[in-house]
Chain A
Amino acid sequence: MTEAEERQKWVDLNMGPQHPSTHGVLRLKVKLDGEIVKELEPVIGYLHRNAEKICELDYYCDSIIYFDRMDYVAAMNMEVGYLEAAEKLLGIPPPERVQWIRVIMAELSRVASHLVWTGAFGLDLGMLTPFFYAFIEREKILKIFTEVSGSRQEVNYMSIGGVYQDFNEKIVQEINEFCDQFPKKLEDMYDLFTKNDIFISRNKGIGVLPKEVALDYAVTGPMLRASGVPYDVRKAEPYLVYDKVNFDIPVSQKGDNLARFLVRFEEMRQSIKIVKQAISKLPEGPFFNPKAKKSLMIRLRGEGDVYARTESSKGELGVYIVGDGSVKPYRLRVRSPTLRNLSVLRYLAKDQMIADVVAISGTIDLVFGEVDR
């Protein structure tokens, strides 16, 4: 049979934007040969709000809330990413204590994001129960966020040169309690997945992403580390106080679904380790830079261009700001990690079964606020 005849048999299937497994508004145009996906094209943009344009129209201090709404499951990470760039551009370094607070919050946020991923990945594979276990733990983190910022998800906690509110005794105690009880729950969840033969058989050797392809598609974060590149911005280009805490980068050489699963779980363990160290090392001091008091905030002017990279829960988050000396950024560009990670789905999904494509797109950890911005 010629290729053209072969193509005649293929069935077009449109998965999404309203589909239970697409994590929001991903639309996949799929060509099926029986159960096997022959071609796949992601269609994105259903949640596009053009945050870059909105940020251009706003003062430097106002853009933070739009970053919250990009990766809404790991809002603290996004705030850290934006502030790294904005503070460099405006020349307002945060005090020591703020840096430690930001590390704690970013790591807790990373754990929360990975927990959402764990639950959703279980659902993709048809496991109902782990979802609830993951979300119960996540709820405890969100409670801490509520305590410090007054809001669960779109926290708007950090501001230029500082944070909205200092840690008090109660919050420190809550974080300590969380860190004490969480590892056991995490291991329970880990056993629930990895001691299940069907789970292993659904993930081992499925969706293998070789190292070269991962680099070619600019994949970052846990996906890249699962493909055997031990690269983490927290180690390679330490921001905040990540050079003062002790943690490991989990790496796997396999590059399949299971490797990505294991890397994310190990990252959660490492994050808790970081939070524990940070909370014990938390220095005293002011929680904002006096140069960025509330009344001065909208008069901050920046000139030149700055690019800052941070490690968000999904991968390398880059923020590029060009200032023209006015109170608003002239151009703001976000390197969203998930968009690059999603682009590799075309490669991974080829000649896989539908069930595997759903599992693979689950391991990418898609959050559409960030992909579409």
Chain B
Amino acid sequence: MNVLLRLANFFSPLTHYIAYILAYFFETLFMLIFITISLVAVIYIFRKYMARLQVRRGPNRVGKFGIFQMIADMMKLVQKESILPKKRDDLPYKVAPVVVMLGLFLGFALMPYGSFYYIGSLTVTHSSVSLVLLIAVIAIMPIGEILAGISSHNKYAMVGALRAVAKDVSFEVPMMITILALVMMASGQTSSPLNIDSIASSSRAFIAYGLVQPIGLGVFMISMIARASYSPFDLGESDSELVSGHSTEYTGMRFGIFYVGLFGSIFLGSMMVSTLYLGAYNGPFSGDVGFIYLVIKTWILVLISFTIWLSMPRIRIDKFVNFGWKYLLPASVINLILAGILTLGWSL
């Protein structure tokens, strides 16, 4: 049983097709609600956690413990006048935030969420190649940033976009190779190694892939930090050098979307790491509370990300590119070779 069938059952008094249409609609709606709540929570926790590290109070005025601060901020951003630069390329300038948001939501739609008590499996998308799809959709977000950087015709934004490209190129190759190693190992366990769900559930039979491939876990985590582009790898929007990088010329809700996109990619990245490397929704009684395990693992990684963010200075772009090609790439290749040896040894 999964969430789609439950919903379809619920709407079954209507005809078959309408029931399924409504079921798909509500399934997507539930997912969007979950993502929105998660993002608001990530931003709230980030601000509280940052305040705690910096011996401050953090938001504490709107609602108890400032819990409604994010909603107030969002309302402020919506009300704000959007100041548009005169020399912009209109279409890409306006499309860029949407592209960022799109990549983020599609990424969440492809995650396997595990099961939860009565409802059963919460996974939204069932595809046998969902890993390939996921890698494809998370590559959409940088496109939005590059569009934003180039279309706003600002030199800071331009340099920010160029840096973002250089950064993306240098960590994506090692990231793909580590995923390849993962798929290689999963192919010994499951018949559809390109399906995230089966990779995740195969790590129950196996032990978590992160334990077998620690190098892969490290490379993938670093790639996810770089993907979300926060300190030490916030090269694209490095605020003390390039004002705000690609989002320099954005105001109001459009800027808000980039801001949410940053936190969204932290959450998505943490979820991907915990799904692929840390045993996903597996644990005792995971048939009933698998979803909770996933959320807990994700949140632990989110907090680790925040700690890294708040305690590290920014790395220089040329050093990061060097790091990507000279350290991450060899490490991922070594990981691939080790994974190959392990996989062959397993099947023998």
Whether the complex brings A and B within 8 Å at their CB atoms is answered yes
Residues of A within 8 A of B (CB): 11, 13, 19-21, 32, 35, 122-129, 131-133, 136, 192, 196, 198-199, 201-202, 353-356, 358
Our pick among A132, A133, A199 for the contact of B313 (Cβ within 8 Å) is A199
A20-B243, A133-B54 are known contacts; what are 19 more A-B pairs with Cβ within 8 Å?
A11-B155, A21-B240, A21-B241, A124-B240, A125-B240, A126-B232, A126-B312, A126-B313, A127-B312, A128-B310, A129-B53, A132-B56, A192-B311, A196-B311, A198-B312, A202-B314, A202-B316, A353-B317, A353-B318
Main secondary structure of the interface of B (DSSP, over half): loop
By the criterion CB–CB under 8 Å, are B314 and A125 in contact?
Answer: yes
A129–B56 CA distance with the chains assembled, in angstroms: 11
Q: Answer whether residue B238 sits at the interface, using C-beta atoms and an 8 A cutoff.
A: yes
> Beyond A21-B240, A35-B159, A353-B318, is A125–B55 a contact (Cβ under 8 Å)?
no
Q: Answer whether residue B89 sits at the interface, using C-beta atoms and an 8 A cutoff.
A: no
Main secondary structure of the interface of A (DSSP, over half): helix
Within 8 A of A (CB), among B39-53: 50, 53
Which residues does chain A contribute within 8 Å of B317, judged by CB atoms?
A: 35, 353, 355
B279 to chain A, nearest CB (A): 30
Which residues does chain B contribute within 8 Å of A123, judged by CB atoms?
A: 240
By the criterion CB–CB under 8 Å, are A127 and B316 in contact?
Answer: no
A198–B240 CA distance with the chains assembled, in angstroms: 16
A–B pairs, 11, beta carbons within 8 Å: A13-B156, A20-B239, A21-B241, A35-B163, A126-B238, A126-B239, A129-B53, A129-B310, A198-B315, A353-B318, A355-B241
> Beyond A11-B155, A20-B243, A133-B55, is A355–B314 a contact (Cβ under 8 Å)?
yes
By the criterion CB–CB under 8 Å, are A126 and B318 in contact?
Answer: no
By the criterion CB–CB under 8 Å, are B240 and A132 in contact?
Answer: no
Q: Which chain B residue shows the least CB distance to A122? A: B313
Q: Which chain B residue shows the least CB distance to A126? A: B314
**Interface size of B in residues (CB-CB distance below 8 Å):** 28
Within 8 A of A (CB), among B43-89: 50, 53-56
By the criterion CB–CB under 8 Å, are A19 and B231 in contact?
Answer: no
B327 to chain A, nearest CB (A): 13
> Beyond A126-B231, A198-B312, is A132–B55 a contact (Cβ under 8 Å)?
yes
By the criterion CB–CB under 8 Å, are B315 and A358 in contact?
Answer: no
Among B54, B239, B240, B313, the most chain A Cβ lie within 10 Å of the Cβ of B313
A202–B313 CA distance with the chains assembled, in angstroms: 9
A21–B241 CA distance with the chains assembled, in angstroms: 6
By the criterion CB–CB under 8 Å, are B159 and A126 in contact?
Answer: no
By the criterion CB–CB under 8 Å, are B238 and A355 in contact?
Answer: yes
B263 to chain A, nearest CB (A): 15
Q: Which chain A residue shows the least CB distance to B230? A: A126
A1–B231 CA distance with the chains assembled, in angstroms: 38
A199–B314 CA distance with the chains assembled, in angstroms: 8
A35–B155 CA distance with the chains assembled, in angstroms: 11
A196–B308 CA distance with the chains assembled, in angstroms: 11
Our pick among A19, A32, A129, A355 for the contact of B316 (Cβ within 8 Å) is A355
Q: Which chain A residue shows the least CB distance to B314? A: A126
By the criterion CB–CB under 8 Å, are A126 and B234 in contact?
Answer: yes
By the criterion CB–CB under 8 Å, are B240 and A354 in contact?
Answer: no
Which residues does chain B contribute within 8 Å of A20, judged by CB atoms?
A: 239-240, 243
Which residues does chain B contribute within 8 Å of A124, judged by CB atoms?
A: 240
Q: Which chain B residue shows the least CB distance to A35? A: B317
By the criterion CB–CB under 8 Å, are B50 and A128 in contact?
Answer: yes
B229 to chain A, nearest CB (A): 12
> Beyond A126-B231, A132-B54, is A353–B240 a contact (Cβ under 8 Å)?
no
A196–B314 CA distance with the chains assembled, in angstroms: 11
A35–B310 CA distance with the chains assembled, in angstroms: 25
Q: Which chain B residue shows the least CB distance to A356? A: B316
A198–B309 CA distance with the chains assembled, in angstroms: 13
Q: Which 8 A-B pairs have CB atoms at the shortest separation, nearest pair first?
A: A126-B314, A125-B313, A132-B54, A21-B240, A127-B313, A126-B313, A355-B316, A358-B241
